[in-house]
Structure 1
Amino acid sequence: MTQNGRDSRRLVADRRPAPGGTPSKKPRKPAVKKRKTSARPPRKGGIISRFFGFIFGLIWGFGWRVSMIVALLVGAGVLYYYASLPNVSALVDGRAKGSVTLMDRDGKVFAWRGEQFGGMITASTVSPYLRDAVIATEDRRFYLHPGVDPIGVASAVKINLSEGRGPLSGHGGSTITQQTAKLLCLGNPYDPTTGQTEADYEADCRVSTLWRKITEATYALAMEAKYSKDEILTIYLNRAFLGAGTRGFEAAAQRYFGKSAAQVNPAEAAMLAGLLKAPTRYAPTNNLERSQQRANIIVGLMEDQGYLTPAQANTARSNPAQLSDAAEAKAGGYFADWVMSDGPDYFTRNTTEDVLIKTTLDQRIQTAAEDAMKYIFENKVKEGSKAQAAIIVMSADGAVRAMVGGRKTKVSGVFNRATTAKRQTGSAFKPFVYAAALELGHHYNSTVVDEPYTLDIPGSGPWSPENYTRKHYGQVTLEYALANSLNVPAVKVSEAVGRDNVRQIASDFGIQSDLAAGPALALGASEATLIEVVGAYAGILNGGSSVKPYGLTELTLMGDDTPLMDADGGIGERVIREEAARELIYMMSKVVSEGSGQRARLPDREAAGKTGTTSAARDAWFVGFTADYVAGVWMGYDDNTPLSGVTGGGLPAEIWHEVMVRVHEGLPPRPLPMLRPAPAAQAPVTTQRQVPRAPQQNSDPLGQALSDVLNSLFGGGRN
């Protein structure tokens, strides 16, 4: 039993003594139970670590999923482009148009038009110097990357940002494979049926946006999967634009150096590779010195990367690349443009084929014409003058041998004053007036009275032509009137034989421009181009038959032997009798030997021609011929500003003289095919046949007051 109050002592049995021992006097203290604690003390900032860990995990989870999606999309894009890529041979010629190669009369190439493609070259057949120069310049890691070079991209971005541009502006870090993808426009060929111009198409292909870069990289990866490195390089070498209308390094090597891309030396290879940065700016035909400086940079890159030894690099620097004779000459730019514009459009300006055109150009004569113009303007024209000039030299059958369309001669695609500018002819038209009289039976020694003369022009009133000297010379022969370029006799003869006859003869000789209807027709009030007038004079020289000026003699497709076209020009129908032509040549010879064109006189051979100066001296002409060639010179301002102190018998005659002296160097003199009257018969006598007087109106005060005004309106011709 227990007591009512509980005993607080624990009821435990006495500890038994250990066997053989005595019981302990002191009981053992009960063990104290320890509190369980963590193995490590809590770290500071645990919440922050868990937060960043969560963010990292979120980003990682999102990132690898997005990366997987991007990888799948890129892979799908690569597979898509891979399946669409054709064989390499189908990609080497990327031109939308064909080319035209022009050859002179001796079969030498002198000009190129359109997009030139010299034929397919490969990475293995091209000069190793050229292959190495392209890689050293454009993509030194070409054989190491898979089409996209992250190192190159990172370097380009860094440079762009350091120069204050956007990451994708300026340096692109593109590999050769990516550049080839851009040249292929990611497999989208030009389609003219869409209405988009070729320039717009190429601009679209060069757009540099982030999405475009991604697509371009995808296409590049597909190319790397489809083609070998050398095949990619082959496409690039054939499609790159290299200035002066050349596509591919073979065309460029032929254009600039007159040799194959397989034959270029280190200096030439460096110059060609240097064009890739800016083809037009660095084209050696635009600025050879600048192109050579750029080539020296490329030589340095090739040396640094081990493609050239120091000795080879020094040789390349000491002997920079030079243009071929044909490229340096830039011969016949105006002539080539004229042939291109005069030929059929589908074989010239818009040809899709590669065309070879043989022409009438004589490069020796072309050089003579250019040198003559340069000599006169440097020595006899005021420095800073903006006056222009044009020259044409042709044979009597209309074959154009030289053409200069302006003072700048090493040009192409510019305004051609020889074939396009229509200007008043002035007294250079008068031979056609006298041709009409001779054809109707008058002769060189027929007479006409030079006296004050007035015509009543319906709707305009009285008109009185004046001679340049403001004097009158009484009864004169037609020979004298033409030699001294008298205006009154020319108008009287025109009125006597009939303006319609004069217009018809001028038109039949090749003056195709609209001819004036009034009496000022005789004084050259009509406009014509230089090539029309020179062609008409060629008709006089050849005995009175018309000619059609021409420059094309044969057109063939490159590689074919059968011509598709022959010469479209030459001698045509007879205009005046041969006897009349011979008399007219004799009369025109007097212009040079005794009359207004004496500055054109040649030292060793006969020449004939006619001066021409229009109202207020806005145009000055000299057109003439020897037994071998016809040449014409026009001089004036493009904006019709009057010339200062210049007449047709002045600077134009001097230019003509300088041209013809150079043209006839080494040629034996030949007599003109003209009438040669007995000396006694040349003096004018009153018994000679006189051209009937045309109706003449009495002068009155009103007519005299209007005379000067009407003279300027109708272009009262001067010598």
Structure 2
Amino acid sequence: MGSKGGKRPVLRADKRQTTAKRREKAAKAPAKSAPANKRKASPRTSRRGGSGGGRGRGPIAWIRRLFGFIVGLLWSLTWRVSVGVGLVLAVAVLYFYSQLPPATELIDGRTRGSVTLLDRDNQVFAWRGEQFDSITEIHQVSDNVKNAVVATEDRRFYRHFGISPRGVASAVKINLSEGRSALSGHGGSTLTQQTAKLLCLGVPYDSDTWETEAAYEDDCRRTTIWRKVKEAIFAMAMELKYTKDEILVIYLNRAYLGASARGFEAASQRYFGIPAAQLNPAQGAMLAGLLKAPTRYAPTSNLARAQDRADTVIKLMYDQGYITAAERDDAWAHPATLSEAAKSNTGGYFADWVMDTGPNFLTRDTTEDVILYTTLDQRIQAAAEGAMRDVFEAKLKEGSEAQAAIVVMSADGAVRAMVGGRETQVSGAFNRATMARRQTGSSFKPFVYAAALDLGYTPLATVVDEPYCIDVPGSGEYCPKNYSRNFHGRVTLVDALKDSLNVPAVKVAEAVGLENVRKIASDFGIDNELAVGPALALGASESTLVEMSGAYAGILNGGRSVHPYGLRELRIQGDDSPLMGQEGGFGERVISDQAARYLVYMMSQVIDAGTGQRAKLGDRPAAGKTGTTQAARDAWFIGFTADYVTGVWMGYDDNTPLTGVTGGGLPAEIWQEAMLRIHDGLPVTQLPMALPSAADLQTAEAPRYEGNTNSARSNGTEQRRRGSDNLAERVLQDVLNLFGRGN
């Protein structure tokens, strides 16, 4: 492009119009007409003008505005209240969270310890207190246990945050449909909430606050709306504090599973005799099934019922995918069964008695876990229980409420078995072997003859069985009579005891001195207030079966007293050295060995040819004594072989007289049946007895003693006592001479 003078022309942009000029120009331009196909907009009606049907006027608009106001107000209140409740809930959860200790501190929350009782072979046979064995990690229990508990109690356990609104709603619906209140019956609680309840929402037991531990536990289990709210808050705090497995471990340790078992490890040992880590699906299901009602479903109470409940749990496990169809079918085909120790469930009376012999702070009220080593022989215990059961079923009328008790011990007083009543599978029941003080009847007579034999007389010494009366100061005339109402004239001591004659027993007791008889009986272990009159010789005093059996053990062992005992040793679980040793056994000598051996011979004749013939054991030598009290309110048979002493008592708890029963009847038959079972397989051993010789018969005749003028009556005619060759008179003279006195 060229230019004049060689200069490049200056380029300039067109002038832009100002905004005002553009507006002015636009205003002067002619308006364009609207397209023909577009509709002309109708002028708007004023909001405030016009008549009905407008948005801003009329009743519909007013209702709309009112409804909107209410909704807005409710929404405003709702979110404000929700925020407030949320803040309060968060504070409450954080408060409980701050109070929760480490999970390991919540594993054992018992206020009492446990007591495990071992028999003479150190095998467990009973438990007392709250049996416990801790689980500290979830891998210490079988997956079968964990899965069974989750399937049964809370299938959403691993998915919720401590509470389950769906579960609560479902539980309320079920309760209402079944005619109960919303909170009665099904609770809809999660496993975490159940754990919170087991922890009593963090409130520990305080003896100053609660009258009893039972009252404290009842309060923990109360169901109220306020408590359910606290439970939910506590559960959420636990979910924040602990892992799911830690919560489950706490639950598995604290849950009560019947039969004094606290926690799944203790229950596994109690029912199956194996650790919880070894439980198969059937066993795990049975334990999980106990959670619904531990006492009702305890397999030791009703095994069939426990197995039925376990079948339901197995189905739940299968439905939720925890076990295969093959495992389900196998569990149904092979249900869990009890261990031998749990199955036998013997020795309840013995266990209670042993617990009472130890100090309470180490037995019934112990806060430690204690092991008691005892003298019980489970084979002998089962034999005694079986003998009583079988004889009663065969011989007693249906519906009879007669009771019986049995004690079996060794000659040193070590109790091997104890049955305190017809119901044998018990705990805390009335023990008729140790608690019932009953008149002993003629079973007391061996102590009368023990006094005479210890003074030097033999079984062949004689005494006259005749009508006989004694003036008892303060009581009047006392005239003993024989059970048969007959008199036998002069009889030897062995015959008097063999036939259980009353008159000779009273005569001998009077002659040797009632105080002497009383002392011998007391020294042998009959630790009661003994009668002071002549009725002492006929068993008017009261005693317990365990005391009488212990006294007979003294006769068997050669005349030394024994203190019946069942405790060999007491230890704190885990300690190597015992806190207590044996309390019982041999005591002081009461009568001479020769007197004891003579007495054993005399008592052997009771079984061989006397009132106790129903107790014969075939070729095995045995000795014993029958006893029947006035009106047959009590019937006894106590006897022994060279191996064991066994005592049997029978009667009614309310002292109702027995019908047609004497000590030589049913008690002797129970004794015989028990002893046959006890000695099954044992070699025959001779009794430690001494047989009298012909020389004893000659020297037994005593010179006539005329000093005693007690009256006697025969057919209403008063006579002088016949004292020629009378042992009672001879012994009385010897005793009086010994103390330098005479009538």
| TM-score strictly above 0.5 | yes
**In structure 2, do the counterparts of structure 1 residues 692 and 331 end up closer, same or farther at CA, with 3 Å as the change threshold?**
farther
From 262, 268, 274, the counterpart of 1:259: 274
Which stretch of structure 1 is more off in the superposition, 610-619 or 381-390? 381-390
Please tell me whether the aligned partners of residues 462 and 703 of structure 1 are also in contact (alpha carbons under 8 angstroms).
Answer: no
* Cross-structure match for 1:4: none
- Residue 604 of structure 1 pairs with residue 608 of structure 2: no
- Residue 109 of structure 1 pairs with residue 93 of structure 2: no
Q: Displacement of 1:43 after TM fit? A: 6.3
Aligned pairs (5 A) from 1:229-244: 229-244=244-259
**Secondary structure at the counterpart of residue 491 of structure 2:** strand
User: Which whole-Å CA distance do the structure 2 matches of 1:45 and 1:619 have between them?
Assistant: 99
Q: Displacement of 1:193 after TM fit? A: 3.5
Q: Displacement of 1:459 after TM fit? A: 2.4
* Cross-structure match for 2:518: 503
**Secondary structure at the counterpart of residue 386 of structure 2:** helix
* Cross-structure match for 1:523: 538
From 50, 53, 73, the counterpart of 1:37: 50
- Residue 342 of structure 1 pairs with residue 362 of structure 2: no
From 682, 696, 702, the counterpart of 2:710: 696
* Cross-structure match for 2:459: 444
Q: In the alignment, residue 361 of structure 2 is paired with which amino acid?
A: Y
User: Which whole-Å CA distance do the structure 2 matches of 1:73 and 1:378 have between them?
Assistant: 68
* Cross-structure match for 2:596: 581
Q: In the alignment, residue 468 of structure 1 is paired with which amino acid?
A: Y
Q: Which digits, 9 at most, give the CA deviation of each residue in 1:3-22, with x for residues without a partner?
A: xxxxxxxxxxxxxxxxxxxx
From 51, 68, 75, the counterpart of 1:60: 75
Please tell me whether the aligned partners of residues 422 and 529 of structure 1 are also in contact (alpha carbons under 8 angstroms).
Answer: yes
From 470, 480, 490, the counterpart of 1:475: 490
* Cross-structure match for 2:172: 157
**In structure 2, do the counterparts of structure 1 residues 43 and 175 end up closer, same or farther at CA, with 3 Å as the change threshold?**
farther
* Cross-structure match for 2:216: 201
**In structure 2, do the counterparts of structure 1 residues 453 and 34 end up closer, same or farther at CA, with 3 Å as the change threshold?**
closer
Q: Displacement of 1:174 after TM fit? A: 0.6
Please tell me whether the aligned partners of residues 105 and 360 of structure 1 are also in contact (alpha carbons under 8 angstroms).
Answer: yes
Q: Displacement of 1:169 after TM fit? A: 1.5
From 618, 623, 633, the counterpart of 1:618: 633
From 114, 125, 146, the counterpart of 1:131: 146
Q: Displacement of 1:156 after TM fit? A: 1.1
**In structure 2, do the counterparts of structure 1 residues 33 and 677 end up closer, same or farther at CA, with 3 Å as the change threshold?**
closer
- Residue 400 of structure 1 pairs with residue 415 of structure 2: yes
Q: Which digits, 9 at most, give the CA deviation of each residue in 1:581-635, with x for residues without a partner?
A: 1111111111111111111111121111100000011100000111111000001
**Secondary structure at the counterpart of residue 632 of structure 1:** strand
Aligned pairs (5 A) from 1:415-430: 415-430=430-445
* Cross-structure match for 1:641: 656
Q: Displacement of 1:681 after TM fit? A: 5.5
Q: Which digits, 9 at most, give the CA deviation of each residue in 1:268-291, with x for residues without a partner?
A: 111100111111111111111111
Q: In the alignment, residue 465 of structure 2 is paired with which amino acid?
A: D
* Cross-structure match for 1:19: none
Q: Displacement of 1:58 after TM fit? A: 3.1
**In structure 2, do the counterparts of structure 1 residues 460 and 51 end up closer, same or farther at CA, with 3 Å as the change threshold?**
farther
Q: Which digits, 9 at most, give the CA deviation of each residue in 1:639-692, with x for residues without a partner?
A: 1111111110111111111111111111111111111234x458x679723796
Q: In the alignment, residue 134 of structure 1 is paired with which amino acid?
A: V
Q: In the alignment, residue 286 of structure 2 is paired with which amino acid?
A: M
Please tell me whether the aligned partners of residues 524 and 560 of structure 2 are also in contact (alpha carbons under 8 angstroms).
Answer: yes
Q: In the alignment, residue 346 of structure 1 is paired with which amino acid?
A: F
Please tell me whether the aligned partners of residues 496 and 692 of structure 1 are also in contact (alpha carbons under 8 angstroms).
Answer: no
User: Which whole-Å CA distance do the structure 2 matches of 1:97 and 1:387 have between them?
Assistant: 37
User: Which whole-Å CA distance do the structure 2 matches of 1:117 and 1:638 have between them?
Assistant: 36
Gaps of 5+ in 1: 1-31, 705-719
**Secondary structure at the counterpart of residue 262 of structure 1:** helix
* Cross-structure match for 1:370: 385
Which stretch of structure 1 is more off in the superposition, 278-287 or 695-704? 695-704
Q: Displacement of 1:702 after TM fit? A: 9.5
Which stretch of structure 1 is more off in the superposition, 441-450 or 262-271? 441-450
Please tell me whether the aligned partners of residues 334 and 416 of structure 1 are also in contact (alpha carbons under 8 angstroms).
Answer: yes
Q: In the alignment, residue 309 of structure 2 is paired with which amino acid?
A: R
**Secondary structure at the counterpart of residue 448 of structure 1:** strand
**Secondary structure at the counterpart of residue 396 of structure 1:** coil
- Residue 74 of structure 1 pairs with residue 89 of structure 2: yes
* Cross-structure match for 2:328: 313
* Cross-structure match for 2:646: 631
Q: Displacement of 1:458 after TM fit? A: 2.1
**Secondary structure at the counterpart of residue 194 of structure 1:** coil
User: Which whole-Å CA distance do the structure 1 matches of 2:196 and 2:700 have between them?
Assistant: 88
Q: Displacement of 1:555 after TM fit? A: 0.8
**In structure 2, do the counterparts of structure 1 residues 577 and 687 end up closer, same or farther at CA, with 3 Å as the change threshold?**
closer
**Secondary structure at the counterpart of residue 711 of structure 2:** coil
From 98, 101, 114, the counterpart of 1:99: 114
Q: Which digits, 9 at most, give the CA deviation of each residue in 1:438-495, with x for residues without a partner?
A: 1122221111111100111222211111001101111111111011100000001111
Q: In the alignment, residue 171 of structure 1 is paired with which amino acid?
A: H
Q: Which digits, 9 at most, give the CA deviation of each residue in 1:108-131, with x for residues without a partner?
A: 100000001122243233101110
User: Which whole-Å CA distance do the structure 2 matches of 1:654 and 1:158 have between them?
Assistant: 62
User: Which whole-Å CA distance do the structure 2 matches of 1:703 and 1:637 have between them?
Assistant: 40
User: What is the aligned-residue identity percentage?
Assistant: 65
User: Which whole-Å CA distance do the structure 2 matches of 1:411 and 1:703 have between them?
Assistant: 57
* Cross-structure match for 2:366: 351
* Cross-structure match for 1:465: 480
Q: Which digits, 9 at most, give the CA deviation of each residue in 1:268-321, with x for residues without a partner?
A: 111100111111111111111111111111111111111111111111111111
Please tell me whether the aligned partners of residues 157 and 171 of structure 1 are also in contact (alpha carbons under 8 angstroms).
Answer: yes
Q: In the alignment, residue 646 of structure 1 is paired with which amino acid?
A: V
User: Which whole-Å CA distance do the structure 2 matches of 1:621 and 1:681 have between them?
Assistant: 35
Q: In the alignment, residue 660 of structure 2 is paired with which amino acid?
A: G
* Cross-structure match for 1:15: none
Q: In the alignment, residue 280 of structure 1 is paired with which amino acid?
A: T
* Cross-structure match for 2:468: 453
Aligned pairs (5 A) from 1:485-500: 485-500=500-515
User: Which whole-Å CA distance do the structure 2 matches of 1:534 and 1:275 have between them?
Assistant: 42
**In structure 2, do the counterparts of structure 1 residues 157 and 702 end up closer, same or farther at CA, with 3 Å as the change threshold?**
farther
From 645, 661, 676, the counterpart of 2:676: 661
Please tell me whether the aligned partners of residues 493 and 691 of structure 1 are also in contact (alpha carbons under 8 angstroms).
Answer: no
* Cross-structure match for 1:382: 397
**Secondary structure at the counterpart of residue 565 of structure 1:** coil
- Residue 676 of structure 1 pairs with residue 676 of structure 2: no
Shift >4 Å, 4+ stretches: 32-36, 41-44, 684-687, 690-695, 700-704
Please tell me whether the aligned partners of residues 193 and 235 of structure 2 are also in contact (alpha carbons under 8 angstroms).
Answer: yes
Please tell me whether the aligned partners of residues 461 and 703 of structure 1 are also in contact (alpha carbons under 8 angstroms).
Answer: no
Which stretch of structure 1 is more off in the superposition, 187-196 or 253-262? 187-196
User: Which whole-Å CA distance do the structure 1 matches of 2:498 and 2:209 have between them?
Assistant: 62
**In structure 2, do the counterparts of structure 1 residues 519 and 65 end up closer, same or farther at CA, with 3 Å as the change threshold?**
same
User: Which whole-Å CA distance do the structure 1 matches of 2:377 and 2:441 have between them?
Assistant: 30
* Cross-structure match for 2:30: none
**Secondary structure at the counterpart of residue 635 of structure 2:** strand
Q: Displacement of 1:60 after TM fit? A: 2.6
User: Which whole-Å CA distance do the structure 2 matches of 1:166 and 1:34 have between them?
Assistant: 62
User: Which whole-Å CA distance do the structure 2 matches of 1:233 and 1:566 have between them?
Assistant: 40
User: Which whole-Å CA distance do the structure 2 matches of 1:703 and 1:54 have between them?
Assistant: 121
Which stretch of structure 1 is more off in the superposition, 46-55 or 293-302? 46-55
**Secondary structure at the counterpart of residue 456 of structure 1:** strand
Cα RMSD for the two superposed structures? 2.0
Q: Displacement of 1:162 after TM fit? A: 1.6
From 325, 328, 337, the counterpart of 2:343: 328
User: Which whole-Å CA distance do the structure 2 matches of 1:34 and 1:81 have between them?
Assistant: 65
From 535, 540, 559, the counterpart of 1:544: 559
Please tell me whether the aligned partners of residues 496 and 691 of structure 1 are also in contact (alpha carbons under 8 angstroms).
Answer: no
* Cross-structure match for 1:213: 228
**Secondary structure at the counterpart of residue 428 of structure 2:** coil
Please tell me whether the aligned partners of residues 175 and 181 of structure 2 are also in contact (alpha carbons under 8 angstroms).
Answer: yes
Gaps of 5+ in 2: 1-42, 719-743
